[in-house]
Chain A
Amino acid sequence: DADVTQTPRNRITKTGKRIMLECSQTKGHDRMYWYRQDPGLGLQLIYYSFDVKDINKGEISDGYSVSRQAQAKFSLSLESAIPNQTALYFCATSDFRGGTQYFGPGTRLTVL
C-alpha cells in the first residue's frame, strides 16, 4: 500500500461548491504539506502543518482552509470553488524540516 494516499484522485465540480480533498499517511511523519501545480507554474505551497496543533499558511492560502485531524490526516478544503482553482493538488509529508518530501499521487480538480 502507498505511504501517502489522496482522495479523491479526480474531481469535477461547479463554481461555488465546497470541496474537501483528503490526505492520509502511514509514514509516521509530523510534517504535512499541501501544494498545487498549475501548468507552466511549478508547485506552490498552500498550507503546511508541523503537528495537529500547528497549521501555517503557505504562499497561496487565500480561498483554501485545512484541518489536521490526526498525525496521519491532513485535509484541504475549498469553501467556495472557483474556476482558477482548477489544478493538480499534491499532499506531501516529511520527517524533519527541509527533509525529503514524500508525495501522494495527486488529485486532479476541475472547477467548471
Chain B
Amino acid sequence: KNEVEQSPQNLTAQEGEFITINCSYSVGISALHWLQQHPGGGIVSLFMLSSGKKKHGRLIATINIQEKHSSLHITASHPRDSAVYICAVWRGDSGGGADGLTFGKGTHLIIQP
C-alpha cells in the first residue's frame, strides 16, 4: 500500500464547479504539500501546511492530522485549473532523518468550458 493515497485519480468537471481532491497518508508527517503539474510538465508548489487551513485565491487546502487526511478545494473552477494535482508529505524526523518528499500519484483534473 502506498504511503500517500489520492482520490480521485481522474476528475472531469464543468467550469464553475466546486472541486475537491483528497489525500490520505499512513505515516507520521511533519508537513504536507500540495503541488500542481501543468500539462507541459512543470511543477509548482501550491501549499505547505502542518495544521489547519490555508487559502490562496480560489484554492483552499485543509489538513486533519488526527485523521491523516488533507483536502484541496478549488472554488469557481476554470479551464486553466486543468492540471495534475499532487499531494506530498514530509516525514521529518519520523522518516529516519531522510529528507525529500513522499508523493502521491496525483489527480488528473480537467475543467471543461
What string of 1s and 0s marks CB contacts (under 8 Å) between B7-49 and chain A?
A: 0000000000000000000000011010000000111110010
A92 to B35, CA, bound (A): 13
Min distance, Cβ A65 to any Cβ of chain B, angstroms: 17
Chain A binding surface SS class: strand
B100 and A48 within 8 A (CB): yes
Q: Number of contact residues on A: which range applies?
A: 20 to 34
A56 and B99 within 8 A (CB): yes
Q: Which of B30, B86, B92, B100 contacts A58 (CB 8 A)?
A: B100
Task: Give chain A's interface residues, CB within 8 Å of chain B.
Answer: 31, 33, 35, 40-45, 48, 50, 56, 58, 88, 90, 92, 97-103, 105-106, 108
Kindly list the 5 A-B residue pairs having the minimum CB-CB distance in the complex, ordered from nearest: A98-B90, A45-B100, A103-B43, A42-B103, A42-B105
